[in-house]
Amino acid sequence: MQHYRKTSYSLYDINRAAGRYHLVWITKYRRKILRGEVAKRVRELIREICKTNDVEILKGHVSGDHIHLFVSVPPHLSVSKLMQMLKGKTSRKMLFEFKTLEKQFWGRHLWARGYFVASSGNVTDEVVMKYIENQEIEKKDDDFKIDD
């Protein structure tokens, strides 16, 4: 972690020329709510947001309390804007669609503040994808997994 830089709410190591990023964000209070239909729906929403913004998901994983994404981002889109869209839109829709989540999180925020991002220029794409691949493996749907 010697090369990572930090702001108030993010940890990062970015080589913008690479255009490929490993993103990680967690649920508020690290609650393990990303299971079953909730996990499937959040994955579906992430796929929609990425497709709309021409972001290619190279690998992904939904764990109980966090999400890993390895994405290729077009040069006109900043990582911070992408994260704002991913966290904001998924939070709003998930809290609206799943009333149990709205009660658990007092109808406010689904995700904790901040996120982790690193470009793949510092390690190979294969290393990042293998790391995500080895996250608590159970169910698989293409290259975007969900834990149960």
51-78 pLDDT, tens digit per residue, is 999 999 999 999 999 999 999 998 889 9
d(CA 54, CA 7): 27
All domains of the chain in start order, with CATH: 5-146 (3.30.70.1290)
- The one-digit pLDDT tens for each residue of the chain (148 residues) are 457 778 888 877 776 666 889 999 999 999 999 999 999 999 999 999 999 999 999 999 999 999 999 999 988 899 999 999 999 999 999 999 999 998 888 768 899 999 999 887 656 777 777 878 887 655 555 678 787 6
DSSP 111: B
d(CA 5, CA 30): 23
d(CA 121, CA 15): 6
Q: Are strands 10-13 and 56-62 parallel, antiparallel or unpaired?
A: unpaired
pTM value?
Answer: 0.80
Neighbours of 140 (CB within 10 A): 11
Residue type, 106: W
